[in-house]
């Protein structure tokens, strides 16, 4: 991704072409297929909803232990059944956050991870997809100079543009990494879970179930507001995402 020409121009302060914003991503289709075959135990992969009921205070109540025990997965599965009775909803969760790479905290990175929500136990593990851009190719001071050169004289306007470009770069990275899976939401794709005699094949319709992060970028990609009190929990569909819910407790 390159800096927007309408804001920063075509060259840097020394007349050289502007540097691109660097980002590294892997083929999500390959990473997903490898994880399903080599990292997921077929016994810990759940193609259908797995509701859990327990007796609490003498009353049978529904509890939520993992994604496949929730109502959101039930809704996804019902939608898939209408398209293809033999199909399953393969739900993915994505995670993006900044992390340090050394003890002095002088080097940081932003790994972009994927989790297969249908998996439970040890099979529910992070799958690395790449590294999102954390830094711009130029310092904020240089970016301000480039904007001033283009006629943007108000500091608040310049700060807003720089912040917006940083957010857009991460969104561009996330969307570009996930894009190869878009078609499979409506058409489905054959997947293999496990290896050898235990291997099982499914026709999977792939859905993004949610993002595990606290950034605007992840929520904007899902089309939700990160602080909205109307955004429902991705498991129970009964409480809002801003409320805390302890695992294994009725909500």
Has residue 171 got a pLDDT over 90? no
Domain contains 229 = no
Domain contains 9 = no
Domain contains 161 = yes
Residue 133, pLDDT score: 76
Residue 219, pLDDT score: 53
Of residues 34 and 169, more confidence is placed in 34
221 within 8 A of 174, measured Cβ to Cβ: yes
Domain contains 248 = no
pLDDT band of 239, cuts 50, 70, 90: low
> Residue 166's domain spans which residues?
20-222
For the chain, how many structural domains are there in total? 1
CA distance 183 to 150: 40
Residue 212, pLDDT score: 73
Of residues 55 and 125, more confidence is placed in 125
Domain contains 152 = yes
Structure tokens at 179: 């894009």
Q: What radius of gyration do the chain's Cα atoms show?
A: 22
The three-class DSSP label of residue 206 is strand
Average pLDDT, the chain: 83
Residue 99, pLDDT score: 61
CA distance 229 to 158: 31
Backbone phi, psi, residue 11, to 5°: -130, 165
Of residues 211 and 139, more confidence is placed in 139
- H-only helix segments in 125-214: 140-149, 155-178, 184-187
Has residue 6 got a pLDDT over 80? yes
Domain contains 134 = yes
For the four alpha carbons of 83, 86, 87 and 89, in that order, the dihedral sign comes to positive
């Amino acid at each position: 991704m390159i800096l927007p020409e309408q804001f920063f121009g075509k060259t840097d302060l020394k007349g050289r072409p502007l540097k691109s914003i660097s980002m590294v991503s892997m083929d999500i289709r390959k990473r997903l297929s490898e994880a399903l075959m080599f990292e997921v135990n077929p016994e810990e992969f759940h193609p259908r909803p797995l509701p859990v009921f327990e007796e609490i205070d003498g009353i049978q109540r529904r509890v939520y232990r993992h994604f496949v025990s929730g109502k959101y997965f039930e809704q996804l599965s019902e939608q898939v059944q209408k398209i293809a009775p033999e199909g399953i909803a393969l739900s993915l969760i994505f995670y993006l956050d900044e992390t340090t790479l050394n003890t002095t905290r002088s080097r940081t990175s932003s790994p972009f991870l994927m989790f297969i929500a249908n998996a439970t136990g040890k099979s529910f593990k992070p799958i690395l997809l790449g590294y999102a851009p954390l830094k711009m190719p130029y310092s904020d001071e240089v970016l301000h100079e480039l904007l001033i050169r283009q006629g943007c004289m108000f500091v608040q306007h310049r700060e807003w543009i720089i912040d917006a470009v940083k957010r857009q770069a991460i969104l561009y990275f996330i969307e570009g990494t996930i894009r190869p899976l878009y078609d499979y939401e409506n058409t489905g794709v054959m997947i293999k879970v496990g290896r050898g005699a235990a291997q099982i094949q499914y026709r999977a319709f792939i859905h993004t179930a949610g993002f595990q992060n606290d950034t605007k970028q992840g929520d904007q990609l899902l089309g939700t507001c990160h602080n909205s009190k109307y955004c429902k929990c991705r498991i129970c569909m009964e409480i809002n995402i801003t409320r805390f819910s302890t695992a294994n407790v009725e909500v």
